[in-house]
Structure 1
């Protein structure tokens, strides 16, 4: 029986490359000459550090542009409020991946309400969708692409 998995994953290697590119652009930009500003990537977080809040906003736009250029959907970013203190301003950007239980339930509910001839089943951090026909599965993929889900979705493990 044909099936596929719905997941939300990030290519961390591409994220690292995007942060490195943003750091290089930061060093070469004229409006950041003589300013102590930096990007720091560790695990699933990117820490932005600058002298004032306005520079953090510019750095955030730089990071978004570099991530988009590397085909990473910026819906996966959870942007925290900037921490302004003394001489430094910091902002944390969390990279979200993996489907939590509430999001899995939302996906299964969306599929079931569509009246397509497919079944959705939660399996940890992914949702497996099975159906008798390949066309039904492709309709389910199109439905999920159009759905209002706050994380970017990928479809993998397609079996015929």
Structure 2
């Protein structure tokens, strides 16, 4: 019976490349001249954007997202926090990096699959969801439906496809 595993992975090596490229773009842009705008890692699962004002923070976040798109990292893998003051008349914004499917999201995805009417079965197994069907086209339709669904807040990848 054909099946695949739904996973949510974030390649940290690629994410480091994204941050480095975003820093280079920020250093070369005219509207950032003379400002101290930085994007850097804070621990394993967080990024921090520091800038002089909220316009520069939003522009730096847009640059980061553009670099993520170039490197095929999904936009749902970062979750921006609130913009808050950090002292010295500067602002900061924390970005949480999301990877893995937790139990709540797994239950929500299973419910979405069951409600869709596509003839597939799904089960949650340790941060991944196994989806099975008799027809490969149904599996692909289910994957496309989940990637486009607005309630799925994690970036999904297909792994371990079996025919």
Deviation per CA, 1:32-80: give whole Å up to 9, x if none.
2222221112422111112222221221111111111212121222111
Aligned residue for 2:154, secondary structure, equals coil
Task: Please provide the CA RMSD for this pair.
Answer: 1.7
Moved more, 140-149 or 57-66: 140-149
TM-score scaled by length of structure 1 = 0.90
Among 74, 77, 92, the residue aligned to 2:94? 92
Residue 150 of structure 1 aligns with which residue? 153
TM-aligned CA distance change 1:112 to 1:62, over 3 Å: same
Q: How far 1:131 sits from its partner (Å)?
A: 2.0
Please tell me whether residue 7 in structure 1 is matched to residue 7 in structure 2. yes
Unaligned runs of at least 5 residues, structure 2 = none
In the alignment of these two chains, the number of paired residues is 160
In structure 2, distance between residues paired with 1:57 and 1:135: 40
Q: How far 1:21 sits from its partner (Å)?
A: 0.7
Unaligned runs of at least 5 residues, structure 1 = none
TM-aligned CA distance change 1:28 to 1:136, over 3 Å: closer
Aligned residue for 1:9, secondary structure, equals coil
In structure 1, distance between residues paired with 2:30 and 2:147: 40
Q: How far 1:124 sits from its partner (Å)?
A: 1.4
Deviation beyond 4 Å, 4+ runs, structure 1:
none
